[in-house]
Amino acid sequence: MKVLLCPLSDRGYLYPSIAVGRELAGRGHEVHVLARATAAPAVAAAGLPALSAEDFGGTGAFSVSHWVDAAPAQYLAVLRAGRHLPADVLVTSVLSLGAVLAAETLDIPVVVLGFAAHIWDYRSGADAEPTSPLGIPAGRAFISRETLRLYTEAREGLRLPALSVTPGEEPYLGTVTLLRGHPDLEYPGAVLPERVRHVGPCAWEPPADPGWLAELQGHVDRIGKPMVYVHLGRVFGGTSPWDRLNAMFTGGVFQALVEQGRSTEPAPDPRADLLVVRVPWMGPLIERSVLVLTSGTSAPVLNALLRSRPLGVSPNGSEQPLLAEACRRAGVAVHIPPGVSDDPAGVLHAMREDQNLHQRVRRLGQALAASDSCARAADAVEDVASAGFTRRPRADGETRVAAGSLHAAVAGGPSPDAPR
């Protein structure tokens, strides 16, 4: 089987796809990674062959910062690379609308690697869920409408046939969407769409530089305070976290290692115990830390839980409020509101001393670690590829998924809701 990995090339999206690709390659499948040129070192470290997105017309098409308007170029690059192999199945990341559309034209299945929790509409059971988690107006109904709108606009721009959408069968979910978290991170009692299921973290990252880590340890030892790992997500025009971070780590008992990530304009106070870095790994840094602060994006959340580190969450926009609320609801995170409080470091002390918080984090982290996520994700890829899913025209000229029950392919049996 020929597998084309075509995720967004940002680390939080690229690395889980690589983890699944390595598992598939170990099973004897031919796996290629379509990614922008800057991702080549990570792909090489994973031992997988790379296809440059730029060589296939995908310049700028695999950056999460431009996912809204990247669908046409992404579609073209995936289509060309898929035909070049030729691919039997695609593995892409959430928000990769162009890749999902290219799979339709290529007439092959596409597996979407999702976030740590579902951020779109549930099939049922979530009527009581707050529409504005943590006070930030980004409920899942809004995200569902906007994603479908962008998908529809991309489809129209590419002059693909109109698609009739049934609630719960949104086409941006691909043939199947695999969530990288745990059911405990979903709203209690909610039922996922039929094409969505949990597999676990699918964790991988390139090996850290031992020399760099030794220098970091020397710095930490010189400061002589417990370290907090801070992972900055994109700010989306909201409140800058720097006033709060400077207050938390000036004159207190903690120091911080701040991964700048995709945020811009770092502004550490020279008097604060803050070290700002931008490196392609976080596992060894979290292992050296006692707590993790994050906006609520999937990579730092899952990496922290796998290492039994409690989370402080300060979401800003996009999927962050829903994922941060999922962690708070599961009892593995504390919400840190925007602004500077009278006791800015007090929440850190409380988190470190809260044994119930630590126990819940350990329990969920152990469940994630035991999930055998890469194998489960690879099983799903093999299942949908062997099921032979195609897309055929409807009588009215629209298209739909055909060739049997998707539930049977990914779950081993007929759908309980199927007509009899």
pLDDT of residue 134: 63
**Tokens at 199, concatenated:** 């597999």
Instruction: Summarize the confidence of residues 300-310 as an average pLDDT.
Output: 98
Tens digits of per-residue pLDDT, 330-382? 999 999 988 778 788 999 999 999 999 999 999 999 999 999 999 999 999 99
Per-residue pLDDT for 266 more than 70? Answer: yes
Q: How sure is the predictor about 236, in pLDDT bands with cuts at 50, 70 and 90?
A: low
| pLDDT at residue 139, as a whole number | 81
In whole angstroms, give the CA distance from residue 175 to residue 191: 18
pLDDT tens digits along 155-196: 999 999 988 888 778 999 999 999 999 999 999 999 999 999
On the question of pLDDT at 241 being above 90, the answer is: no
Whether residue 388 is predicted with pLDDT greater than 90 in this model: the reply is no
Separation between Cα atoms, residue 48 and residue 189, nearest integer Å: 40
> According to the model, what pLDDT value does residue 262 have?
74
Q: E-strand spans in 98-224? A: 110-113, 176-179, 196-198
Q: What is the overall mean pLDDT for the chain? A: 89
What is the C-alpha separation between 287 and 309, in angstroms, rounded? 8
Which among 229, 236, 237, 119 is positioned nearest to 180, based on CA atoms?
Answer: 119
Q: Which residue has the tokens 């529409």?
A: 131
Query: CA dihedral in degrees (375, 376, 377, 382; nearest 10)?
Result: 80
Residue 237 — pLDDT band, cuts 50, 70, 90?
Answer: low
Q: Which domains, and CATH codes, for the chain?
A: 2-201+372-411 (3.40.50.2000), 210-369 (3.40.50.2000)
pLDDT of residue 395: 30
Provide the greatest CA pair distance for the chain: 72
Q: What is the pLDDT of residue 133?
A: 65
Q: What is the pLDDT of residues 205-234, one digit of tens each?
A: 999 999 999 999 999 999 999 999 999 877
Read off the pLDDT band of 235 (50, 70, 90): low
Enumerate residues 6+ apart whose C-beta is below 8 A from 177.
Answer: 94, 111, 112, 113, 114, 193, 195, 196, 197
Six-digit token pair at 295? Answer: 């906006």
Its sign, for the CA torsion 6, 65, 37, 180, is negative
Q: Answer yes or no: are the C-beta atoms of 314 and 337 closer than 8 Å.
A: yes
Ramachandran area for residue 233 (φ above 0: left; ψ -120 to 50: alpha; else beta): beta
Task: Name 392's Cβ contacts closer than 8 Å, sequence gap at least 6.
Answer: 399, 400, 402, 403
- The single-letter DSSP state of residue 158 is T
